[in-house]
Structure 1
């Protein structure tokens, strides 16, 4: 029976490959002609009947052809023994496209464009989660004698700028003392820890600096708290409209769902570990509006530290091996870039 099961999986794999490529139901003759399975059309027909009975393929209309179901795609993805390697041209494109990035915002914008181009699907990248970031440096820049600019730089390359009105004139020496006090107190600390620590800075400072530091720290804490509205970058939405037939009666729902940040964050929720790819197919997606789609997601980060998630959204009829390879490669490179910042 094991041999029959293996052969049926080969038939399923042939149906998936042909349907993804041609968007046409696949018949037994096409499988025999295009794939070297070493069996007759009659055997393939019997295998297709067994696959249909088990719910792995279905007949969309009265033609002899079959298409994969969500269950069929699931077993196909689960049994992928190897991921289709990226071509050398694709690897070079990733390197050259991301190497020129100026900061974390640029890295993520480029990553989304690149993923959308490589997969021809919708790409989404989550900003590095601030709770996993640490303060690398806080620059304090005088704008006027009574106004400062705070520039918070994290170890993940995030830069946040805030202006502070001091209510009094300060000297350059005072600015230097404030800069030193804050960097001593916050440097190297996780942002969640730094946010709690900021309140203690004025209390422990010399009396002549306390009033100014209260104003500075009140504004600074806004930079240390996560801002949900800044957490996602989305690109390639127009790719979904290339094959409207992949979303019978549901494309508008999918597009509307992608505008909801909460929905998109849920799609990335399974990406908990850097480098671990998760594939959710059709009905496996929690949101009802997304049940005609598949989501390939991955966590990106440094070593074992998860910084955020990224992935693609597309129809269930997609090139899963190629998509998984592209998502994994881009995530790995983004993790390396941010680790070097």
Structure 2
């Protein structure tokens, strides 16, 4: 087979995938000739379609219908994507403006997932920062009353946790600053796992007059530092999937169920590629049975070359891959810039 014939058949496949994504209707040879400048006869196109069908890249739902892509066809389409749809300048400005108004990292991530759902018309997911790679930046201690403190824990990922601590004894104003210094000596620059260990040791070696206060604060902080997987996933736009339910009605309940079971999606997002790269998992490629009627486009966000978490969208296998990849990549990049303080 000549190189030109092979290249033309790739173009025919790309045209079939593009047209089916746009319409969800089987694509015939006549429609291909009308919509695409393929430069060959209808007989040649029909022959190319027969070859693509034999290769398992397209299929004919009914004997009298056109062709639709198979999951192998979608995979070939995605793997040979060279031109990802760029975002327009207004789209980029709107994304950045919306995300920059976030008050802290969690707010930025909640905004990002709502934005992805709106931009792609699919379900969007984002994992909160991976606490195992986050480091404590500072712990502020504020006296709310002589027997109540406010602890504000800030990580280098921009996460902010606030906790009230009830004390067993009155704390003097000067001791609030001493307590703050002690806590930050144990916390600053350490990963959250390391910080938990340091806090446990601090309660044993703290000055006697502060030991009770240190114990109260350390207990609260350790509870804050421990990861709670059920609180780590943010989902938006699951209702968008119901708009395309007619195209995968038997699959939809399982997909919704899998989204609600956060551990399934967290596991998926834990496998996202390095910063700047996007992964596409299509249909039967999913390890989770309930997701096999869907495709997932995901990437990582982070700072200083380290991924803090994953984000992406879940939608039908006939999603607009080029546009979705572009939007997921752009939102993740802006989130990373905001985390890095750029």
1:171-250 map, 5 Å: 171-250=172-251
CA offset at residue 215 of structure 1? 2.0
Matched, 1:252 2:253: yes
Which region of structure 1 is more displaced relative to structure 2, 309-318 or 104-113? 104-113
How large is the Cα RMSD of the aligned pairs?
1.3
**How far off its partner does 1:286 sit?**
1.1
Segments ≥4 residues shifted beyond 6 Å: none
Q: How far 1:340 sits from its partner (Å)?
A: 1.1
Q: Is residue 129 of structure 1 aligned with residue 154 of structure 2?
A: no
Deviations 1:129-150 (A, max 9, x none): 1111111111112222122221
Q: Matched residue of 1:226: which SS?
A: coil
Give the TM-score, by structure 2 length: 0.97
Deviation at 1:270, TM superposition (A): 2.2
Unaligned runs of 5+ in 2: none
| Structure-1 separation of matches of 2:326 and 2:175 | 53
Q: Report the equivalent of 1:105.
A: 106
Q: Is the 2:229–2:263 contact (alpha carbons within 8 Å) kept by the matching residues of 1? A: no
Please state whether the residue corresponding to 1:185 is helix, strand or coil: helix
Deviations 1:275-313 (A, max 9, x none): 210000000011111111000000111132010000000
Check conservation: 1:246, 1:317, Cα contact below 8 A. Answer: no
Distance across 2 between alignment mates of 1:337 and 1:209: 38
Residue-by-residue CA offset, 1:161-191 (whole Å, 9 max, x unaligned):
2222221111011111100111122112221
* Aligned-partner Cα distance in 1 for 2:193–2:251: 41
Indicate whether 1:289 and 2:290 are aligned.
yes
What SS does structure 2 have at the residue aligned with 1:140?
Answer: strand
Q: Secondary structure at the match of 1:300?
A: strand
Alignment match, 1:320? 321
List alignment gaps of at least 5 residues for structure 1: none
Describe how 1:1-341 pairs up with structure 2 within 5 A.
1=1, 2-340=3-341
CA contact (8 A) 2:273 2:279 kept: no
